[in-house]
């Protein structure tokens, strides 16, 4: 990594899906040469996010109908469906050429995630895996190449996109979040069936997903997670690191982009069954 790259860490609040995706996109679009940004954030309400080219098929539509308290958004990046609820989400934004290209950037960011988990006492590694198509089902069914696993079970799902001269990579670190309702099908108990963002009854997570709550005696606090992953990314990516906030330019861009990510035209453009209407 270029030793002169200056990194800014942004510890953000909880926002809806459209606002979160707009902020990530804005950070990439406004990135200045010689700089990088890592943003940590949360979601409110709990939200189903879809990959850029993932079909919005009947099982996902059933899930949304069964769980009216859940938001839905389509990401700018690829990958597959994730329920975002009581997790840590990270976004790493860096110049596309800073690591020798997007693929090497993906490896370095993954290394930062693994280093951060080691600070928390979790022995994780990058999965061998394989590339998975957009219609392969929910994200946490299977680890794709380079995603983070513990004992063969997936803990972090990530996706990447080049935006102009920048690379945006973001992903979910499962703290408590249960992904199993995506697999429940019609009649299943949804994550937010009671409208409380999934804080009521929970199923057991899928056998191939794992949460930090399962791995550690006590779930780390938000501050502990941000500190650990900040250290991990600094070790993996090098450069100078400071804490900061979004600039005025980034906030303005994010407000403009929020309309796109909140638009039904964007969200529903890949509906797999033309005969199925959007949820009310």
Instruction: Tell me the average pLDDT of the chain.
Output: 86
More confident residue, 209 or 277: 209
Domain locations in the chain as residue ranges: 6-267
Strand 88-95, strand 35-43: pairing: antiparallel
Token pair for residue 63?
A: 């899930």
What distance in Å separates the CA atoms of residue 105 and residue 156, rounded to the nearest whole number? Answer: 16
pLDDT digits (tens, 9 = 90+) for 208-262: 889 999 999 888 999 999 999 999 999 999 999 999 999 999 999 999 999 999 9
What distance in Å separates the CA atoms of residue 271 and residue 223, rounded to the nearest whole number? Answer: 38
Predicted local confidence at residue 22, as pLDDT? 98
The secondary structure of residue 61, as a DSSP letter, is H
Predicted local confidence at residue 4, as pLDDT? 62
| Beta bridge mates, 47 | 71, 84
pLDDT digits (tens, 9 = 90+) for 107-149: 999 999 999 999 999 999 999 877 778 888 888 888 888 899 9
What distance in Å separates the CA atoms of residue 107 and residue 229, rounded to the nearest whole number? Answer: 15
Predicted local confidence at residue 110, as pLDDT? 96
Was domain 6-267 assigned CATH 3.30.930.10?
A: yes
What distance in Å separates the CA atoms of residue 272 and residue 54, rounded to the nearest whole number? Answer: 9
277: Cβ contacts below 8 Å, ≥ 6 apart = none
Classify residue 110 as left (phi > 0), alpha (psi -120 to 50) or beta. alpha
User: What's the angle, vertex CA 146, arms to CA 36 and CA 173, rounded to 5?
Assistant: 70
**Count of C-beta atoms within a 10 Å radius of residue 244:** 12
* Given 56, 73, 109, 139, the catalytic residue: 139
Predicted local confidence at residue 272, as pLDDT? 54
Token pair for residue 179?
A: 């992904």
At residue 171, what are phi and psi to the nearest 5 degrees? Answer: -170, 170
* 139 among known catalytic residues: yes
What distance in Å separates the CA atoms of residue 186 and residue 202, rounded to the nearest whole number? Answer: 16
Token pair for residue 241?
A: 């690191």
At residue 224, what are phi and psi to the nearest 5 degrees? Answer: -65, -40
Q: Residues, the chain, total?
A: 280
Question: What is the pTM (predicted TM-score) of this model?
Answer: 0.87
User: What's the angle, vertex CA 225, arms to CA 121 and CA 123, rounded to 5?
Assistant: 25
């Amino acid at each position: 990594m270029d030793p002169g790259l200056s990194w800014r860490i942004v510890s953000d609040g909880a926002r809806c899906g459209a606002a979160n995706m707009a902020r990530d996109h804005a950070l990439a679009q406004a990135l200045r040469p010689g700089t990088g940004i890592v943003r940590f954030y949360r979601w409110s309400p709990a939200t189903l996010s879809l990959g850029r080219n993932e079909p919005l098929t009947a099982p996902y539509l059933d899930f949304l109908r069964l769980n009216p308290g859940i938001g839905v958004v389509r990401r700018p990046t690829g990958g597959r469906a994730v329920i975002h609820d009581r997790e840590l989400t990270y976004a790493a934004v860096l110049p596309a050429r800073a690591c020798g290209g997007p693929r090497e950037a993906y490896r370095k960011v993954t290394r930062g995630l693994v280093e951060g988990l080691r600070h928390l006492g979790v022995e994780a590694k990058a999965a061998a895996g394989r590339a998975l198509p957009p219609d392969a089902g929910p994200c946490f069914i299977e680890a794709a190449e380079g995603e983070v696993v513990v004992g063969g079970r997936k803990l972090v799902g990530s996706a990447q996109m080049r935006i102009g001269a920048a690379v945006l990579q973001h992903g979910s670190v499962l703290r408590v979040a249960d992904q199993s309702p995506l697999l429940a099908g019609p009649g299943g108990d949804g994550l937010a069936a009671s409208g409380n963002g999934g804080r009521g009854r929970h199923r057991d997570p899928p056998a191939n997903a794992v949460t930090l709550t399962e791995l550690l005696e006590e779930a780390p606090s938000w501050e502990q997670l941000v500190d650990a992953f900040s250290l991990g990314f600094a070790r993996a990516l090098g450069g100078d690191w400071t804490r900061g906030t979004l600039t005025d330019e980034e906030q303005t861009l994010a407000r403009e982009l929020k309309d796109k990510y909140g638009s039904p035209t964007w969200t529903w453009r890949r509906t797999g069954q033309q005969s199925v209407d959007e949820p009310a």
